[in-house]
Chain A
Amino acid sequence: MQPLFSKTRRLINEIDNFLDLASQTGLHLREGIRLYIEQRYDEFEQRLETIRNAEKRADASRIDVEASLYTETLIPESRGDVLGILESMDSIVDKAKKTMLNLSIERPVIPARLKPVFLELTDRVIETVEELVSAARAYFYELHAVKDHLHKVKYFEREADHMAEKIKREVFSMKIDLARKIQLSYFINHIDYLADQSEEVANRLSIATIKRAV
């Protein structure tokens, strides 16, 4: 019985660890974008390294959880849903790393008057990711609390979309090169994508929660 207990505990820790890493990646991204906008590039590069490590660990965690769920035929009823949720959350982590990496490679110049709205957009997006992580945690621990977080995911995602549209309109109304406009728009899409992806995972979570409801 003891090994069974310890196996269960290890797997629970692994899932918790994955969710922690997903949340941390979002927070690192917010911090990274702030450092980039403030042109503190050395610290920004350090942050990129941190995100890279977190992404690697999240990947390893997810693979480990997947293997355990399959080989030990655990949660047969919810296995498909759980794996789907973890995989799509992993793609958010991935996208966060790519956004930081592309900023590091392309170094787009952000016009001074757009800097506050860029930060605001990042805030909304990261709030979406945070609520999603809380919803996913509730799915494992407190099923009835999932919907309290899901509606917030939807709310922040809409806010982020609205913000992204506003910034893009402003970018294209500015007197700068078209190439710069397109590059800035591309980065806005990149950041906003995290919110969109969070909403998609939230939809999956919502269905999985209904399926699990006693």
Chain B
Amino acid sequence: MMILLYLSSGLFLGWSLGANDAANIFGTAVGSKMVRFRTAAIISSLSILLGSWLSGRGASRTLEHLGEINEIAGAFVVALAAAVTLYGMTRMKLPVSATQSIVGAIVGWNYFSGSVTDYDTFRTIAATWAICPALAAVFCMILYLAARYILMKSRIHLIKLDFYNRIGLLLVGAFGAYSLGASNIANVMGVFTQVSPFKPLDLYVVRLTSVEQLFILGGIAIGVGVFTYSHRVMSTVGEGIVKLNPVSALTVVLASSLVLFLFASQDLQYLLASHGLPTIPLVPVSSTQAIVGAVIGIGVMHGGRGINYRVVGKIVAGWVVTPVVAGAIAFIALFIFQNVFMQRVYRPVEYTVSPEVVQRLARERGTVRLLVPLRGRTFKNAISFRDSLAALAPGISPKEIEMVLRLSRVQRFTVNTSLLTRELKSGFLTPRQASALRDINGMSFTHTWQMQEALAEKTKDWAFREDNAENRQYNKVLRDRIKYLVRRLSQPPAGQNGI
């Protein structure tokens, strides 16, 4: 019950996403009565659920990179701050993105907990805010030209065109909803992935990891939002976009769905990477802003008619205002939760430059010489450690700082296989991985990477492969697995959750 209470802010975020964003996808179809609401609601709920479950992991990893929220109460507050910001901004009729508010809230948590914000990730995410509507506009223009060419060349009867359009709206709607789920489940449940209270669940046919269970729950919340509230929003959106003719409306929805898919699809990322092409960052993007971008694309094709520059201005303003407001709300709410409700909203993370760290760094690259004066010192949070590093070596690159932070991060735990009986039995690990884990039973570690190295010595099933496009997914899965085990092994005994 307590778990559901903590997840409630994320579920609320999911509900409002279902109410608002699903309407972007099926609004035209339902608003113009070409598709019945029930049909649209069933198709979009199922597709969103599938998208969240099967493809949601990519974009949520990016958010984890931005800030690893390590207490469920903290995740609750972050999601709540994002939800409140989203609600307030939507009330003010601003086309805001859930990503912008969740990113702001995560950065707020980082400040509060003394964690370092990964500015590389932040920059990547912020760049997508501008790229997403622009790309949707370009896609829409291309699709519009293609549609116009096809209609010119083929003698399709108006009634037949209407028939194809209906089928198109259903297919594109399903695809859009799938992409929406894949892209935006990260906003709904991304902050909870590090503190997921669920254990892997074996359903005989399929085995659900704890993150997948979170995503399915989030997908259901979005689905409830679709069924309970999106009908009203769909009518409004429908009226707004209905001014476009059905073919244009279809291209708008298809263009924005494609953008959502591009920024969420891990498969596409592997495909691009395996052909040596530059990959697209997996970031949750806003369907509202993609739709507005696509409509602008149609406007440009009509010689600039119908472009609402006020809406464009509001979107641009939202890039700055939304994260700042969400960050401030998160910071204040975290303070209140910690000091008034006595909840532990973050677990302090120490950093220590132990001899093992220095040794390990020596193997990595020449950074070790910079750390000599810091050898043996412990820092109470990432910010103070980073500042010391920056003071010691002014030229140190953000990537090097990130590596030093990752290696020095203190995570004390002892391998206790009796805590992992379910994981060892359920096929979560390969037989060799399980056997290696049993071999190191009882060993204690100060850093996560030490356990990984100890395991890798036992079997190559625990060793990272060379970092290239083909192996990226393998390494990601391995990293997730180690993270999960460390989390299970370092969980405080029940009853110690207060500050």
CB of B131 within 8 Å of the partner chain: no
Instruction: Give CA–CA (A129, B163) in the complex, Å.
Output: 30
Any B CB within 8 A of the CB of A11 = yes
Are B158 and A78 in contact, CB atoms less than 8 angstroms apart?
A: yes
| Cα–Cα distance between A77 and B246 once the two chains are bound (Å) | 7
On whether the beta carbons of B245 and A211 are closer than 8 Å, the reply is: yes
Check if A12 sits within 8 Å of B144, measured CB to CB: no
Contact of A77 with B144 in the complex, beta carbons under 8 Å: no
**Digit string of A70-105 for contact with B (CB within 8 Å is 1, else 0)?**
000111111000100000000000000000000000
Q: Which of B152, B163, B247 contacts A8 (CB 8 A)?
A: B163
Rounded to whole angstroms, the CA-CA distance of A5 and B159 in the bound complex is 11
> Are B159 and A15 touching (Cβ within 8 A)?
yes
- A12–B163 CA distance with the chains assembled, in angstroms: 11
Q: Chain A: interface secondary structure?
A: helix
B151 surroundings in chain A (CB, below 8 A) = 143, 214
Contact B245 A8 (CB under 8 A): no
- Would you list which residues of chain B between 397 and 433 have a CB under 8 Å from chain A? none
- Do A140 and B33 form a contact, CB below 8 Å, given A8-B163, A214-B247? no
Name B147's closest neighbour in chain A (CB-CB). Answer: A214
**Is the CB–CB distance between B245 and A214 below 8 Å?**
yes
Interface residue from B34, B144, B158, B245 paired with A140 (Cβ < 8 Å): B158
A144 touches B162 (CB 8 A): no
- When A143-B151, A214-B245 are in contact, do A73 and B34 touch as well, CB less than 8 Å? yes
Residues of A within 8 A of B242 (CB): 77
Tell whether B91 is near chain A: CB-to-CB under 8 Å. Answer: no
Q: Is B207 an interface residue (CB 8 A)?
A: no
**A112 interface contact, C-beta 8 A:** no
Interface size on B, residues (CB 8 A): 21
Interchain CB contact under 8 A, A75 and B162: yes
- Are A76 and B245 in contact, CB atoms less than 8 angstroms apart? no
Residues of B near A156 (CB, < 8 A) are: none
- Contact of B148 with A by CB under 8 A: yes
Q: Which single member of A4, A76, A141 contacts B157 (CB below 8 Å)?
A: A141
Contact, CB under 8 Å: B248 / A77: no
Complex CA gap A74/B158 in Å reads: 10
CB of A169 within 8 Å of the partner chain: no
**Which residues of A33-76 are within 8 A (CB) of B?**
73-76
Interface of B is mostly: helix
Q: Which residues of A contact B159 (CB under 8 A)?
A: 8, 11-12, 15, 74-75, 140
Taking CB atoms, residues of chain A closer than 8 Å to B473 are none
A139 at the A/B interface (Cβ < 8 Å)? Answer: yes
Given A4-B163, A214-B144, A214-B148, decide whether A75 and B248 contact each other with a Cβ distance below 8 A.
Answer: no
A115 at the interface (CB under 8 A from B): no
Contacts between the two chains (Cβ within 8 Å), count: 49
A180 on the B face (CB < 8 A) = no
User: Is A142's CB within 8 Å of the partner chain B?
Assistant: yes
User: Would you call B245 and A74 a contact (CB within 8 A)?
Assistant: no
Task: State the CA gap A142–B154 with chains docked (Å).
Answer: 8
Q: How far is the CB of B144 from chain A (nearest CB, A)?
A: 7
Q: Within 8 Å of chain B (Cβ to Cβ): is A166? A: no
Interface assignment of A162: CB less than 8 Å from any CB of chain B: no
Complex-state Cα separation, A19 to B444, whole angstroms: 87
Report B-chain residues with C-beta under 8 Å of the C-beta of A4: 163
- With contacts A8-B163, A143-B151 taken as known, whether A75 is within 8 angstroms of B247 at the C-beta atoms is no
User: Which residues of chain B are near A5, meaning CB under 8 Å?
Assistant: 163
The yes or no answer to B367 lying at the interface (CB within 8 A) is: no
**A76-B34 contact in complex given A214-B151, A214-B248, C-beta closer than 8 Å:** yes
B32 / chain A contacts, CB cutoff of 8 Å: 76-77
Query: Bound complex: CA of A163 vs CA of B399, how far in Å?
Result: 87
B259 CB, min distance to chain A CBs, angstroms: 21
- Determine if B144 and A75 form an interchain contact, defined as CB atoms under 8 angstroms apart: no
Do A12 and B157 contact each other (CB < 8 Å), given the known contacts A76-B32, A77-B242, A212-B245? Answer: yes
What 1/0 flags go to A131-175 for Cβ under 8 Å of B?
000000001111110000000000000000000000000000000
In the complex, what residues of B have CB within 8 A of residue A11's CB?
159
Looking at the complex, which one of B33, B147, B148 makes contact with A76 (CB distance below 8 Å)?
B33
B163 CB to nearest chain A CB (Å)? 5
CA of A5 to CA of B32, assembled, Å: 21
- Contacting pair B162 A74 (CB below 8 A): yes
Contact with A along B12-40 (1 / 0, CB 8 A): 00000000000000000000111000000
19 contacts between A and B (CB under 8 A): A5-B163, A8-B159, A11-B159, A12-B157, A12-B159, A15-B157, A15-B159, A73-B34, A76-B33, A77-B32, A77-B245, A78-B158, A140-B158, A141-B157, A144-B152, A211-B245, A212-B245, A214-B151, A214-B248
B160 within 8 A of A: yes
Query: A11-B159, A212-B245 are known contacts; what are 19 more A-B pairs with Cβ within 8 Å?
Result: A4-B163, A12-B159, A15-B159, A73-B34, A74-B162, A76-B34, A77-B242, A77-B245, A82-B158, A140-B157, A140-B159, A141-B155, A141-B158, A142-B155, A143-B151, A212-B158, A214-B147, A214-B148, A214-B248
Q: Give bound CA distance, A12 to B155, whole Å.
A: 13
For the complex, give the distance between the alpha carbons of A8 and B157 in Å: 10
Chain A 1-33 per-residue mask, 1 if CB under 8 angstroms from chain B, else 0? 000110010011001000000000000000000
Q: How far is the CA of A214 from the CA of B247 in the complex (A)?
A: 7
